[in-house]
Each structure stands twice: as C-alpha cells, then as structure tokens.
C-alpha cells in the first residue's frame, strides 16, 4: 500500500465484529437503496399477469402461476446483500422458494442460465451459482410483500454475488449450453460478480 489520501481518516469504518461480513471496498448501509436501469414494471399477480418459467435446455419445461407457485415450499432467507455501487446491507430477511426446488422439477441439461424479467432485464449465472442452497425466487422482504421498487411481485435472490445478479421482476430462468452475458454484463460489469473477489467491472 503506497498511496495515502492526505487528511483522510474514514468516518464510516466497519465495526470490528462485522468485519468478516463486509467484502472489500463496501460500506454498511442501513437503508435499502433502489437502483434500476429503466421504468418500474407494474405486474399484478392477482390478475394473472405473473408466472415463473424454467425453460431452454431442460428435460421438462415448467411454468408456475402465482397460485401454483405459492403451493411450493417457502423458506425464510436471512442474508447479507452487497451492491456493486459499494453499499452492503447486513442481516436482512427475504422469503421465497429455493431455486433448487424449481430446477429439480425441470432438470437442467446444461451448465448456464439466463434470468429474464418483466421489462426486459437479463442477467447470466452459472447453474452452479443457482443451486445447492445459494439462490431463491423471493416474494417477501422483512415480512411484507416485496415492494414493486425492489422487484415485486418476485425477484431472484443470489446473495453471494453482487446484487445486480438478483434480478428484479423475474419471469423465468432459461437454461443454456453457453454463457451469454446479460444486461449489465454487456455494459461494463463483471461476468460473475463475486463481491469477495471485488469482481465489479470487466477488467477485475
């Protein structure tokens, strides 16, 4: 470490007991900022406007209506989330269905997936990053229905990667035989986005 910023002390240091929960270059944010690339889509699940699909290279394509989705097993997901714009929110709680359960029902035949969304957003993930208890489709946050601004009625939740991978207004997962960069991934952001390795941009 050679460079030092003259007169910089650091006013928002991470408390020592939380240090192992905050990735490098992140600071703790108590709120829940909203960052979105376009207008917020309005989807009314009670009017039949919502469904979730698993399609592409799978043994069995599947689609769940809002009602069918709610017959699946829900679980609480306490987690820390990390945004590439450098805030982290610790100890927050979502509720939803494990992606493991959704993929088991459709049997992926290949190793990559694209999450696609109402409004056109996409993000790419390796199947490995979606399975084994690492990803959920969530419909609640802190005991309340997921607000529209935060992706309601449902968003993908992949807390071990930067939060742009946790696609808002998610409509489905498409299993693919190759890795196809999604919306932010073609616009300068890292293909995988591991906050612990600080994979923020293409060159990281």
Partner 1 sequence: MDGLSPAIMPLAAPKAPGHWQVATVKSIKQETPQVKSFALELPKWMPHLPGQHYDIRLTAEDGYQAQRSYSIASSPLVEGEIELTIDLLADGEVSPYFHEVVMEGDQVEVRGPFASYFVWRGEEPALLLGGGSGVVPLMAMLRHRRRACPERQMHLVYSVRSAEGLIYADELGDETTVTYTRSAPARWSGHTGRIDAELVSGPASAAEVVFICGSNGFVESASRLAVDAGCDPSRIRTERFGPSG
Which parts of this chain interact with partner 1 (CB under 8 A)? 1, 3-13, 24-25, 27, 29, 31, 33-40, 85-87, 119-120, 149, 183-184, 187-189, 200-204
Nearer to partner 1, 38 or 143 (CB): 38
Nearer to partner 1, 40 or 51 (CB): 40
Nearer to partner 1, 120 or 133 (CB): 120
CA pair distance 39, 41, nearest whole angstrom: 6
Nearer to partner 1, 110 or 204 (CB): 204
Nearer to partner 1, 28 or 105 (CB): 28
Nearer to partner 1, 19 or 73 (CB): 19
CA pair distance 171, 51, nearest whole angstrom: 6
Min CB(163)–partner 1 separation in Å:
12
Please state, in angstroms and as integers, the Cα–Cα distance from residue 52 to each residue in 66, 87, 113, 152, 173, following that order: 8, 29, 14, 13, 8
Min CB(199)–partner 1 separation in Å:
12
Min CB(100)–partner 1 separation in Å:
32
Min CB(29)–partner 1 separation in Å:
7
Q: Which helix (H) or strand (E) segment is 125 a member of? A: strand 122-126
CA pair distance 153, 57, nearest whole angstrom: 26
Extract long-range pairs of 38-46: CB within 8 Å, 24+ residues apart.
Answer: 38/119, 38/120, 38/121, 39/119, 40/119, 40/148, 40/149, 41/117, 41/118, 41/119, 41/169, 42/148, 43/118, 43/153, 43/169, 45/153, 45/154
Min CB(153)–partner 1 separation in Å:
17
| Cβ–Cβ under 8 Å, residues 119 and 170 | no
Min CB(122)–partner 1 separation in Å:
13
């Amino acid at each position: 470490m050679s460079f030092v910023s003259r007169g910089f002390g650091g006013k928002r240091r991470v408390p020592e007991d939380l240090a192992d929960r905050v990735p490098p270059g992140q600071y703790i944010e108590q709120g829940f900022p909203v960052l979105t690339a376009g207008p917020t889509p309005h989807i009314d699940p009670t009017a039949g406007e919502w469904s979730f699909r698993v399609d592409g290279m799978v043994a069995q394509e599947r689609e769940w209506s809002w009602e069918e989705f709610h017959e699946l097993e829900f679980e609480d997901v306490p987690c820390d989330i990390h945004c590439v714009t450098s805030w982290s929110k610790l100890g927050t709680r979502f509720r939803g269905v494990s992606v493991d359960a959704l993929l088991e029902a459709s049997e992926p035949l290949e190793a990559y997936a694209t999450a696609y969304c109402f409004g056109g957003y996409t993000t790419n993930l390796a199947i490995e990053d979606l399975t084994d208890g690492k990803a959920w489709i969530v419909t609640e946050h802190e005991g309340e229905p997921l607000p529209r601004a935060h992706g309601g009625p449902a968003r993908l939740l992949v807390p071990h990667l930067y939060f742009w991978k946790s696609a808002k207004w998610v409509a489905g997962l498409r299993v693919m035989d190759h890795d196809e960069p999604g919306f932010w991934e073609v616009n300068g952001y890292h293909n995988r986005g591991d906050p612990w390795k600080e994979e923020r941009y293409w060159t990281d």
